[in-house]
């Protein structure tokens, strides 16, 4: 890129486009695909993400063991090293933990849990944020002020703190042990409540811009109701930014879940997520049973790095300023 006032290659004035191009055309015009194919990192990141998502989805089919089923764990197989070490045993290719849990299976199931929690959390925060953003932007006035003030307050607290508080309050309110289902729900809600602000702000500002445009006024004149206008005309304009936020938030959500589990307030040891596995494995850092912490750690790091790379690339590709 050259300085902007060196007017090299300035395109000749293009006549104003009359009709907005179709989505496909927009995709092509934005050079998204070209930029994608041109970026080796983006390709590698996508490949890694797809691979890991695939492994996660297929976990029940390909795992040698169901690590969540206590009946399948046998203490006899505990603390086995990976297969390439002297005491390694098939089918425990990456070794086992202190309960005889197959590390490979646990990592696969853990990836699955991490992704489930992450995706659900992102969807929750996205739906919440987009809805509130639409409402705030369209309604304006007191409602807008209220929502955006709440967003400000919310921004005061990092996600992990909010998630911990939600978790703690829920524990205080329900008492005792939560089943895994509700527990996952709780974590998803914690994450949802932590990450909605960015969506809301983006959507709101976009609505503010679109609201004043002629076509929205026209749509209103022909009798379309606000929800229809919002959904049909405003939403498509924010898909790009929202998608970028969602990608980056997915990585954050996965980290948040892992952190909660690491702090001991997330998923229990009997149903370990990657974070729980790392917490347990951490105990064996000195005793030479490195595989219990290393593989979950690698899987988590790999997943998050891949998603972040994708997110970075998407942001750059969709940001006209940087093109």
Partner 1 sequence: MSRSTLKILARGVAAGAVATFALAALPAQAANVFRFAFQGDLKSLDPYSLKESFTEGMQQAAYESLVTLDKNLKFAPGLAESWETPEPTRWRFHLRKNVKFHDGTPFTADDVLFSAQRVRASGSNFTTNVPSDAEFVKVDDYTVDMVLKKPNPIALAQFPTWLIMSKAWSEKNGAAQPTPANATSPSYATLHENGTGPFVIAEHQPGVKTVFKKFDGYWGKAESNLDEAVLTTIANPATRVAALLSGEVDWIDPVPLQDQQRVNASGTAIVMAGPELRTIFLGMDQDRDELKDSSVKGKNPFKDIKVREAFYLAIDEETIAKRVMRGQAVPSALMIAPALYDRASEIKRPATDLKKAKELMAQAGYPDGFTLTMDCPNDRYVNDEAICQAVVSMLARINVKVNLNAQPKAKYFAKVLAPNYDTSFYLLGWTPSSLDSHNILFEIVGCRKPGDKSGRGSWNLAGYCDPKIDEIADKVEGETDKTKRDALIKEGFETLNADWGYIPLHQQALAWGVSKKVHLTQRADNLLLLYWVSKDPQ
Partner 2 sequence: MSETILSVRDLTVAFDTRRGPLTAIDRVSFDIGRGEILGVVGESGAGKSVTGSAVIGLIDRPGRIAGGAIHLRGERIDNLSPEAMRRVRGKRIGMIFQDPLTSLDPLFRVGDQIVETLRAHTKLSAKAARTRAIDLLAEVGIPAPERRIDGYPHEFSGGMRQRVVIALALAAEPELIIADEPTTALDVSVQAQIITLLKRLCREHGTAVMLVTHDMGVIAEAADRVAVMYAGRVAEIGPVAAVVREPHHPYAVGLMGAIPTLSQEADRLSQIPGSMPRLTAIPKGCAFNPRCPKVFARCRIERPEPILVGASRVACHLYDVTEKAA
Partner 3 sequence: MLAFLLRRVIQAAAVLAVVGLIAFSMFRFAGDPVNQIVGPDTPASERAEIRKSLGLDDPVLVQFARYAGDVVRGRLGISYQFRQPVSQLLAERMPATLELAFCATVFALVVGVLMGVFCALRRDSWLAGLFQAVSLIGISLPTFLIGILLIYLFSVTLGWLPSYGRGDTVRLGWWTTGFLTWSGLKALILPSITLGLFQMTLIMRLVRAEMLEVLRTDYIRFARARGLSTRAVHLRHALKNTLVPVITIAGLQLGSVIAFSIITETVFQWPGMGLLFVQAVQNVDIPIMSAYLLLVALIFVTINLVVDILYTVVDPRLRLSSPRTA
Residues at the interface with partner 2 (CB under 8 A): 2-3, 5-13
Answer for which of 286, 320, 321, 322 binds partner 1 (CB under 8 A) is 286
Answer for which of 26, 149, 213, 232 binds partner 3 (CB under 8 A) is 149
Closer of 167 and 210 to partner 3 (Cβ)? 167
Closer of 11 and 172 to partner 2 (Cβ)? 11
Per CB under 8 A, 212 contacts partner 3: no
Picked from partner 1, partner 3, partner 2, none, the partner binding residue 166 (CB below 5 to 8 A depending on kind) is: none
Q: 276: cis peptide before it, omega within 30°? A: no
Nearest alpha carbon to residue 30 among 305, 306, 246, 239? 239
Question: Hey, which residues between 155 and 194 contact partner 1 (CB under 8 A)?
Answer: 176-177, 179
For the chain, the C-alpha Rg in angstroms (whole number) is 24
Closer of 6 and 222 to partner 2 (Cβ)? 6
Per CB under 8 A, 284 contacts partner 1: yes
Name 224's Cβ contacts closer than 8 Å, sequence gap at least 6: 232
| CA pair distance 88, 101, nearest whole angstrom | 14
Q: Work out how close the CB of 12 gets to partner 2 at its nearest, in angstroms, rounded to a whole number.
A: 4
Q: 50: cis peptide before it, omega within 30°? A: no
Answer for which of 289, 294, 295, 309 binds partner 1 (CB under 8 A) is 289
Q: Work out how close the CB of 245 gets to partner 2 at its nearest, in angstroms, rounded to a whole number.
A: 30
Per CB under 8 A, 297 contacts partner 1: no
Dihedral class, residue 22 (left if φ above 0, else alpha if ψ from -120 to 50, else beta): beta
| CA pair distance 291, 101, nearest whole angstrom | 12
**Residue 240: both structure tokens together:** 């790009």
Name 305's Cβ contacts closer than 8 Å, sequence gap at least 6: 45
Answer for which of 47, 50, 153, 231 binds partner 3 (CB under 8 A) is 153
Q: Work out how close the CB of 61 gets to partner 1 at its nearest, in angstroms, rounded to a whole number.
A: 22
Closer of 75 and 301 to partner 3 (Cβ)? 301
Q: How far is CA 150 from CA 139, 199, 200, in A?
A: 16, 14, 11
Instruction: Build a one-symbol-per-residue string for 253-282: x at contacts with partner 3 by CB under 8 A, - elsewhere.
Output: --x--xx--xxxx---------x--x---x
Terminal C-alpha separation, the chain = 8
Per CB under 8 A, 71 contacts partner 1: yes
Picked from partner 1, partner 3, partner 2, none, the partner binding residue 198 (CB below 5 to 8 A depending on kind) is: none
**Residue 196: both structure tokens together:** 């909605």
**Residue 46: both structure tokens together:** 């996508």
Per CB under 8 A, 99 contacts partner 1: yes
Cβ-contact 197, 170 below 8 angstroms: no
Cβ-contact 83, 138 below 8 angstroms: no
Q: How far is CA 145 from CA 140, 141, 151, 238, in A?
A: 7, 6, 10, 21
Per CB under 8 A, 136 contacts partner 3: no
Question: Hey, which residues between 280 and 309 contact partner 3 (CB under 8 A)?
Answer: 282, 285-286, 293, 297, 300-301, 304-305, 308-309
Residues that bind partner 1 (CB under 8 A): 69-76, 78-79, 98-100, 176-177, 179, 268-270, 282-289
């Amino acid at each position: 890129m050259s300085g902007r006032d060196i007017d090299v290659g300035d395109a000749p004035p293009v006549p104003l486009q009359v009709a907005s191009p179709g989505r496909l055309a927009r995709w092509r015009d934005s050079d998204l695909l070209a930029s994608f194919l041109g970026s080796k990192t983006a390709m590698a990141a996508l490949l890694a993400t797809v691979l890991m998502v695939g492994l996660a989805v297929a976990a029940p089919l390909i795992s040698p063991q169901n690590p969540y089923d206590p009946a399948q764990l046998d203490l006899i197989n505990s603390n086995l090293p990976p297969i390439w070490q002297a005491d390694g045993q098939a089918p425990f290719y990456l070794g086992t933990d202190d309960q005889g849990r197959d590390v490979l299976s646990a990592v696969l199931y853990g990836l699955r849990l991490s992704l489930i929690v992450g995706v659900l959390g992102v969807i929750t925060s996205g739906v919440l944020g987009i809805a509130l953003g639409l409402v705030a932007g369209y309604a304006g006035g007191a409602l807008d002020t209220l929502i955006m003030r709440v967003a400000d307050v919310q921004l005061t607290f990092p996600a992990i703190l909010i998630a911990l508080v939600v978790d703690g309050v829920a524990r205080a309110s329900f008492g005792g042990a939560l089943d895994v289902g509700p527990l996952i729900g709780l974590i998803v809600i914690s994450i949802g409540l932590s990450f909605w602000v960015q969506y809301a702000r983006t959507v709101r500002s976009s609505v503010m811009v679109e609201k004043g445009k002629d076509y929205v006024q026209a749509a209103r004149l022909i009798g379309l109701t606000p929800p229809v206008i919002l959904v049909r005309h405003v939403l498509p304009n924010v898909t790009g930014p929202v998608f970028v936020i969602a990608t980056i938030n997915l990585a954050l959500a996965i980290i948040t879940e892992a952190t909660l589990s690491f702090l001991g307030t997330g998923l229990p040891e009997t149903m370990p997520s990657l974070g729980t596995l790392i917490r347990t494995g951490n105990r064996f850092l000195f005793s030479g049973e490195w595989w219990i912490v290393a593989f979950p750690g690698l899987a988590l790091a790999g997943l998050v790095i891949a998603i972040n790379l994708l997110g970075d690339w998407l942001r750059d590709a969709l940001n006209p300023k940087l093109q």
